[in-house]
Chains A and B, each alone.
Chain A
Amino acid sequence: MPSKEKLREKMLSFPHKTTKAKILDAYMVGTNEKFFRLRLEDGKELGHEPGQFVMLSIFGFGEAPISIASSPTDNGYFDLTVRKVGVFTNELHKYGKGDTIGVRGPYGKGFPVDNMFGYDVLIVGGGLGLVPLRSLIRYIMVNRNDFGNVQILLGCKTPKELLFGEEAKDWMKRAEIKMNCTVDKADDEWKGNVGVITTLIPGVDIIPERTYAVVVGPPIMMKFTIVSLLEKKIPEHQIVLSLERRMKCGLGKCGHCQIEGVYVCQTGPVFTYNQLKGFKGECYEKGF
């Protein structure tokens, strides 16, 4: 039991307090996805790990958990990318350069970048899953010599839906990163692969025990990707996933993001497959 002083300190805390953040830049990066570059008004860095999330707040509309798309190595700003799907995100899309929104966090556990030291990295992203992965990709690029080979596999429904178009093209050109894209349905200009992302996995050149695979995407995509990665003999504790859940508080209390006994907002959103495979229903039946 905490001491009286400790309890008093906790009583005075104000966990729902938001910090103002100024929108430095905002533009569309997909058909329904808007990119926001923000800076905390107090000038402080967000101080996050790649893979963490923030609770974004618009007074009158509420809060929503949003993945951080930039790396902690990006100084002076942080990035978010938000798809327009509901009341909150529709309102958010009206915001632009110069506007102010509220932020609290960062919350959760990010990608285990320190454990990944010296390993090869295989990044597999589907659709909007590229947003949290961008924080990792940018982190790796800055700390490139901490890692072995780095490969990125991206998948989305159509070429138009590929996020961060220009930036992704730049990744594609880089010598230190191998990148491959696939779309479910091609258009006339598309010259790359066609098919679901799992079709790319059998062909990747990896040494399984030396490789960390980081997978983020829709539940069903993650489910089948894991099957392919396990077939490639990547150890279970080296398969890393980030889960989407409906965080309402970010403080491990409200219950919305719970999977069995685990609050995703605190223990996750990043897990290793090893941690998740014991979950009997809620995870595996639906995909992750």
Chain B
Amino acid sequence: MKYAIINKKDLNKWVEHLMKKARLYGPKKKENLFVFRPVKDPEEISLTYIPTILPPKKYYFPQKEKLIKFNAETFTEEKGTRDPEEFILFGVHTCDIAGIQCMDVVFRENPADPYYLSRKSKMTIIGIECMKYCDTIASCTSMGNHVPRGGYDLMMVDIGDSFILHVNSEKGENLVKNLRYIREAEEEDMAALSRAREEKEKVFKNELKAPLSKIYEAFDGSFKSPVWEDVGRRCVGCGNCTASCPTCYCYDVVDDMELDLTNGTRYRIWNSCQMDDFAKVAGGEDFRKGRDSRQRHRYYRKFKYPVDKFNRYFCTGCGRCTRACVADIKLPETVNSIIDDHRSKNAV
């Protein structure tokens, strides 16, 4: 089965079926925002949602991960985490799936990260394609992530009364086969999908002023741009942008001693390149002292460095950094300023 059909009225039934298979996390409303949380009742799921406060990265790259458990007296140590259990991420936007793909590339690179890889191996991803913009902040079209580009087991697309499910793996197929209420898609369903996608293309337009290759060029030539001074002046160095980013993975390694002062844990915890002492060495030298240089570093880690290294942009266009910024630094605005600045310099 390549494409399957489920009627919307049967969706809850299916979710309940999935919940029996493995722990299921889905988007839920929290005050006026959304969060990924464990689902206990299918009714809790909100499939029309603005990207959640934190991306689903918290499930495959937890905020705090125990690396080793140690005993300082006997000098023994063991792996800090148990083997993870199977889990399903339900209703993941295509932008966040792109984020997972970025993380994959990073953590698979040698020396590979066993903690991430073992979580990822237990993860089933059921995505949902957005047919309308979540809000006016996202820049997913420019980043090429408004449409599915692999990286999921099943992808749900709204085609009116029902969802068409793209089956992208054996794992995914096992979740839709032999169910009374899920049938194989027919020709007219496929036609409905094409129509829905055509409608979608009328809505989703490039949010940034230049295509990706030109954005890369602009960044390449903008290390000393005055845009960074401006962004640095506004930035308060809180780190919201990096915590909420689906592709930020920097961390700190910290020891935690229990009260007996013998047993303890060495864990890693999300850290942010926006923090004051992030690049400071013991002797006192700070290699990215100004907030301008730290913000620039963040942007270059989305639009330049990973492109050189992995041929992949590490901005998914989800818009979280913009929504989370207390100083009103907007990613599309910054990128557009860099493009303008670069164009004006090169026009002379």
Q: Are B253 and A63 in contact (CB under 8 A)?
A: yes
Q: Are A253 and B293 in contact (CB under 8 A)?
A: no
Stretch among B14-22, B91-99, B106-114, B195-203 lining the A interface: B106-114
Q: A248-B251, A252-B109 are in contact. Are A64 and B282 (CB under 8 A)?
A: yes
Q: A64-B282, A89-B282 are in contact. Are A59 and B255 (CB under 8 A)?
A: yes
Q: Are A251 and B293 in contact (CB under 8 A)?
A: no
* 3 smallest beta-carbon distances between A and B, as pairs: A255-B250, A261-B305, A10-B112
Closest to B304 in A: A261
Stretch among A14-22, A45-53, A183-191, A205-213 lining the B interface: A14-22
- Contact of A195 with B by CB under 8 A: no
Q: Which residues of B contact A149 (CB under 8 A)?
A: none
- Contact of B238 with A by CB under 8 A: no
**Which residues in chain A, 247-286, are within 8 Å of chain B measured between CB atoms?**
248-249, 251-261, 280-282, 286
Q: Which residues of B contact A248 (CB under 8 A)?
A: 251-253
Q: Which residues of A contact B67 (CB under 8 A)?
A: 16
- Contact of A61 with B by CB under 8 A: yes
Q: Which residues of A contact B331 (CB under 8 A)?
A: none
Q: Are A244 and B114 in contact (CB under 8 A)?
A: no
Chain A contact-residue range equals 35 or more
Q: Are A255 and B251 in contact (CB under 8 A)?
A: yes
- Contact of B264 with A by CB under 8 A: yes
A13 to B266, alpha carbons, bound, how many Å? Answer: 16
- Contact of A175 with B by CB under 8 A: no
User: Shortest beta-carbon distance, B5 to chain A, in Å?
Assistant: 31
A60 to B262, alpha carbons, bound, how many Å? Answer: 8
- Contact of B118 with A by CB under 8 A: yes
Q: Which residues of A contact B257 (CB under 8 A)?
A: 59-60
A18 to B75, alpha carbons, bound, how many Å? Answer: 10
Q: Are B281 and A281 in contact (CB under 8 A)?
A: no
Q: Are A59 and B117 in contact (CB under 8 A)?
A: no
Q: Which residues of A contact B299 (CB under 8 A)?
A: none
Partner of A14, one of B107, B114, B281: B114
A254 to B253, alpha carbons, bound, how many Å? Answer: 9
New A-B pairs, 15, CB < 8 Å, besides A59-B75, A60-B72, A255-B249: A13-B111, A16-B253, A60-B261, A60-B264, A83-B282, A244-B283, A253-B106, A253-B107, A253-B251, A255-B251, A259-B287, A261-B309, A281-B296, A282-B287, A282-B293
Q: Which residues of A contact B75 (CB under 8 A)?
A: 20, 59, 100, 102
Stretch among B25-33, B128-136, B156-164, B272-280 lining the A interface: B272-280
Q: Are A260 and B255 in contact (CB under 8 A)?
A: no
- Contact of A138 with B by CB under 8 A: no
Total cross-chain contacts (CB, 8 A): 136
Closest to B300 in A: A260
**Which residues in chain B, 131-148, are within 8 Å of chain A measured between CB atoms?**
none
Q: Which residues of A contact B249 (CB under 8 A)?
A: 253, 255
Closest to A8 in B: B121
Q: Which residues of A contact B224 (CB under 8 A)?
A: 280-281
- Contact of B291 with A by CB under 8 A: no
Partner of A281, one of B253, B266, B293: B293
Closest to A63 in B: B253
A1 to B281, alpha carbons, bound, how many Å? Answer: 36
Closest to B228 in A: A281
Q: Which residues of B contact A86 (CB under 8 A)?
A: 282
A282 to B113, alpha carbons, bound, how many Å? Answer: 28
Closest to B286 in A: A286
Closest to B283 in A: A85
Q: A16-B266, A62-B255, A246-B279 are in contact. Are A11 and B288 (CB under 8 A)?
A: no
Q: Are A18 and B77 in contact (CB under 8 A)?
A: yes
Q: Are B118 and A11 in contact (CB under 8 A)?
A: yes
For A85, A86, A260, the residue with the greatest tally of chain B CB atoms inside 10 Å of its CB is A260
Closest to A220 in B: B285
- Contact of B187 with A by CB under 8 A: no
- Contact of A203 with B by CB under 8 A: no
- Contact of B43 with A by CB under 8 A: no
Partner of A59, one of B72, B250, B288: B72
Q: Which residues of B contact A249 (CB under 8 A)?
A: 251, 253, 268
Partner of A254, one of B108, B251, B304: B251
Q: Are A10 and B114 in contact (CB under 8 A)?
A: yes
Q: Which residues of B contact A219 (CB under 8 A)?
A: 285
User: Shortest beta-carbon distance, A141 to chain B, in Å?
Assistant: 28
Partner of A252, one of B111, B117, B271: B111
A12 to B114, alpha carbons, bound, how many Å? Answer: 6
Q: Which residues of A contact B170 (CB under 8 A)?
A: none
Sample (27) of A-B pairs whose CB atoms are under 8 Å apart: A7-B108, A7-B112, A7-B117, A10-B117, A16-B67, A16-B68, A17-B68, A18-B68, A59-B70, A62-B253, A86-B282, A102-B75, A128-B283, A244-B283, A246-B278, A246-B282, A248-B252, A248-B253, A252-B111, A254-B250, A255-B249, A255-B273, A255-B278, A256-B271, A261-B304, A281-B293, A286-B285
- Contact of B79 with A by CB under 8 A: yes
Q: Which residues of A contact B264 (CB under 8 A)?
A: 59-60
Q: Are B108 and A2 in contact (CB under 8 A)?
A: yes
- Contact of B254 with A by CB under 8 A: yes
- Contact of B41 with A by CB under 8 A: no
- Contact of B223 with A by CB under 8 A: yes
Q: Which residues of B contact A10 (CB under 8 A)?
A: 108, 112, 114, 117
A1 to B151, alpha carbons, bound, how many Å? Answer: 13
Q: Are A7 and B121 in contact (CB under 8 A)?
A: yes
A99 to B309, alpha carbons, bound, how many Å? Answer: 42
**Which residues in chain B, 204-241, are within 8 Å of chain A measured between CB atoms?**
223-224
- Contact of A93 with B by CB under 8 A: no
Q: A7-B117, A12-B114, A14-B114 are in contact. Are A245 and B279 (CB under 8 A)?
A: yes
